[in-house]
Amino acid sequence: MFLMSGLKPGPTPEAKATATAKADSSASLLNDNQENKQRQEQRQEQRQEQRQEQRQEQRQEQRQEQRQEQQHSNHRS
Protein backbone atom coordinates (compact mmCIF):
# COMPACT_ATOMS: atom_id res chain seq x y z
CA MET A 1 0.00 0.00 0.00
CA PHE A 2 1.32 3.47 -0.98
CA LEU A 3 0.90 6.23 1.62
CA MET A 4 1.01 9.93 0.74
CA SER A 5 3.54 11.37 3.13
CA GLY A 6 1.55 14.40 4.23
CA LEU A 7 1.47 15.99 0.75
CA LYS A 8 -1.59 18.11 0.31
CA PRO A 9 -2.79 18.75 -3.19
CA GLY A 10 -1.69 22.27 -4.20
CA PRO A 11 -3.69 24.74 -6.20
CA THR A 12 -4.45 23.72 -9.75
CA PRO A 13 -2.65 25.52 -12.58
CA GLU A 14 -5.94 27.27 -13.41
CA ALA A 15 -6.30 28.53 -9.83
CA LYS A 16 -2.69 29.75 -9.90
CA ALA A 17 -3.29 31.57 -13.18
CA THR A 18 -6.45 33.19 -11.84
CA ALA A 19 -4.71 34.33 -8.65
CA THR A 20 -1.82 35.75 -10.68
CA ALA A 21 -4.19 37.56 -13.03
CA LYS A 22 -6.08 39.07 -10.09
CA ALA A 23 -2.84 40.21 -8.47
CA ASP A 24 -1.64 41.70 -11.77
CA SER A 25 -4.89 43.55 -12.36
CA SER A 26 -4.96 44.99 -8.84
CA ALA A 27 -1.33 46.05 -9.20
CA SER A 28 -2.10 47.77 -12.49
CA LEU A 29 -5.10 49.48 -10.87
CA LEU A 30 -2.83 50.80 -8.14
CA ASN A 31 -0.43 52.09 -10.78
CA ASP A 32 -3.29 53.74 -12.66
CA ASN A 33 -4.49 55.42 -9.47
CA GLN A 34 -0.99 56.71 -8.72
CA GLU A 35 -0.60 58.01 -12.28
CA ASN A 36 -4.01 59.69 -12.08
CA LYS A 37 -3.07 61.35 -8.79
CA GLN A 38 0.21 62.57 -10.25
CA ARG A 39 -1.58 63.94 -13.33
CA GLN A 40 -4.12 65.72 -11.11
CA GLU A 41 -1.36 67.25 -8.99
CA GLN A 42 0.48 68.41 -12.10
CA ARG A 43 -2.70 69.95 -13.48
CA GLN A 44 -3.33 71.77 -10.20
CA GLU A 45 0.24 73.08 -10.13
CA GLN A 46 -0.08 74.25 -13.73
CA ARG A 47 -3.36 76.01 -12.97
CA GLN A 48 -1.83 77.75 -9.96
CA GLU A 49 1.18 78.86 -12.02
CA GLN A 50 -1.11 80.15 -14.76
CA ARG A 51 -3.19 82.10 -12.23
CA GLN A 52 -0.06 83.64 -10.74
CA GLU A 53 1.21 84.61 -14.20
CA GLN A 54 -2.16 86.13 -15.08
CA ARG A 55 -2.18 88.15 -11.84
CA GLN A 56 1.33 89.41 -12.52
CA GLU A 57 0.37 90.41 -16.07
CA GLN A 58 -2.72 92.21 -14.79
CA ARG A 59 -0.64 94.09 -12.21
CA GLN A 60 1.86 95.11 -14.87
CA GLU A 61 -0.93 96.31 -17.14
CA GLN A 62 -2.49 98.28 -14.30
CA ARG A 63 0.88 99.90 -13.50
CA GLN A 64 1.36 100.85 -17.14
CA GLU A 65 -2.13 102.34 -17.30
CA GLN A 66 -1.50 104.30 -14.10
CA ARG A 67 1.82 105.60 -15.47
CA GLN A 68 0.15 106.66 -18.71
CA GLU A 69 -2.63 108.42 -16.81
CA GLN A 70 -0.08 110.21 -14.63
CA GLN A 71 1.90 111.29 -17.69
CA HIS A 72 -1.27 112.59 -19.34
CA SER A 73 -2.33 114.47 -16.21
CA ASN A 74 1.21 115.90 -15.86
CA HIS A 75 1.12 117.17 -19.44
CA ARG A 76 -2.28 118.76 -18.90
CA SER A 77 -1.27 120.79 -15.85
pLDDT in tens, 18-43: 888 888 888 888 999 999 999 999 99
What pLDDT score was predicted for residue 1? 46
Instruction: Report how far residue 41's alpha carbon sits from residue 27's, in angstroms, rounded to the nearest whole number.
Output: 21
Would you list the domain boundaries of the chain? Answer: 26-77
pLDDT (mean) for 1-14: 66
pLDDT averaged over every residue in the chain:
86
What pLDDT score was predicted for residue 20? 87
CA–CA distance from 47 to each of 8, 39, 41, 43, 56 (Å)? 59, 12, 10, 6, 14
pTM of the model: 0.50
